Amino acid sequence: MIKGKQSVVFDKPVYIEAVASIVGEKEGQGPYGKYFDIVSNDPMMNTNTWEEAESKLQELAVDKLFDKSGIGKDDVRYMFGGDLLGQLIATSFGLKKYEIPLFGLYGACSTFGEGLSLAAMCVSGGYAESVIALASSHFASAEKQFRFPLEYGNQRPMASTWTVTGCGAAMVTERKTDVRISGITTGTIVDYGVKDSMNMGACMAPAAAALIAANLADMDVDESYYDKIITGDLGTVGQKILIDLLREKGYEITNRHMDCGIEIFDGESQNTMAGGSGCGCSATMFCGSLIDRIRSGEWNRILFVPTGALLSTVSYNEGKSVPGIAHGVVIERGV
């Protein structure tokens, strides 16, 4: 069950019963727009603040997940959720109405990987039949939290990423379905000393590279074991660093790497610089599209690696570096 230094392979299988995704207008106009369950053209989500809007994304994703899974709130034993805002307020106000035991998580943009990992451990460990893992982000609440209020109209450097407005939620169960979580690799904090909060791809790529190398070592396989290795939100700048770092470690992932941040927008026509980012990026891409490509048989086994940059306005204004973390989840087709 324990594999190597950082990984677990589940003896008792864990499955994904259903997923739900909701995104904003810009994500809806992107190349994956048609795959999301809900596309909202109102960035305020009919609420009064950006933070309430993000809470509403969580609420609508969970409601949709109940519908799609046929599992109601009384049959969900735990929720593992988080967002990017200080003190997780999007999650607190988004999930409170459900009255389901909650484990609040913070892994920056890696939170959906952290949530899926703990959800799978929980179900495989016999602590629950069904649990929900979810993560959200919102472009406007994140800009306000981490950078500048939108009203400032600040310019964005080319290495910057565009926070995805969206929430992805997964119902993780012990009931057999056609997609299972077969293993996890839990990340450590990796700090290469990068201090540019506008270049989060560079901050996170070393953590992604370390996680992928740890997974391959723990599983005693090479990169060809996976049909795809899919990172969260490295963007175009981070992708190049990731590939180079893994090449130094003897792995060549160029042909099997995909990054949710690069995929979710059409960078050229949508002006999203290096790509999409935020907890919601990997969560909505996984729930909106990736899982279907496993179900359909296009891929049989993927390593899904949401990536997070560990910073706050306080930490970078105080001159600290931006360390990264990544959490890996092995998703396989069939029982």
Interface contacts to its own copies, rule CB under 8 A: 1-2, 6, 8, 48-49, 51-52, 77-78, 82, 84-89, 92-93, 95-96, 98-108, 114, 117-118, 121-122, 124-128, 145, 186-189, 191, 310-315, 318, 320, 323, 325
**Least separation, in Å, of the C-beta of 27 and its own copies?**
23
**145 versus 231: smaller Cβ distance to its own copies:** 145
b/e 4-17 (16+ beta carbons within 10 angstroms → b): eebbbebeebbbbb
**Least separation, in Å, of the C-beta of 320 and its own copies?**
6
Distance CA 149, CA 140 (A): 8
Tokens of 307: 């990536």
**Least separation, in Å, of the C-beta of 36 and its own copies?**
27
**78 versus 251: smaller Cβ distance to its own copies:** 78
**243 versus 245: smaller Cβ distance to its own copies:** 245
**171 versus 258: smaller Cβ distance to its own copies:** 171
Smallest CA-to-CA distance from 121 within 228, 2, 280 is with: 2
**Least separation, in Å, of the C-beta of 26 and its own copies?**
23
**Least separation, in Å, of the C-beta of 293 and its own copies?**
28
Residue linked to tokens 């519908």? 67
Distance CA 53, CA 220 (A): 44
Integer-rounded Cα radius of gyration of the chain: 18
**44 versus 89: smaller Cβ distance to its own copies:** 89
DSSP 44-66: TTTSSSHHHHHHHHHHHHHHHHH
Residue linked to tokens 């296009």? 298
Q: Where are the beta strands (DSSP E) in 174-323?
A: 179-185, 228-231, 257-259, 276-277, 301-305, 307-309
**71 versus 105: smaller Cβ distance to its own copies:** 105
Tokens of 325: 């973390």
**Least separation, in Å, of the C-beta of 146 and its own copies?**
8
**Least separation, in Å, of the C-beta of 112 and its own copies?**
13
**6 versus 284: smaller Cβ distance to its own copies:** 6
Distance CA 308, CA 105 (A): 12
284 three-state secondary structure = helix
Task: Give the DSSP H/E element, type plus range, for residue 156.
Answer: none
**27 versus 218: smaller Cβ distance to its own copies:** 218
Q: Which amino acid, residue 190?
A: V
Distance CA 169, CA 118 (A): 14
Phi and psi for 31 in degrees, rounded to 5? -60, -20
Smallest CA-to-CA distance from 19 within 77, 73, 65, 86 is with: 65
**Least separation, in Å, of the C-beta of 298 and its own copies?**
31
**70 versus 149: smaller Cβ distance to its own copies:** 149
Smallest CA-to-CA distance from 19 within 177, 248, 143, 148 is with: 177
**Least separation, in Å, of the C-beta of 18 and its own copies?**
22
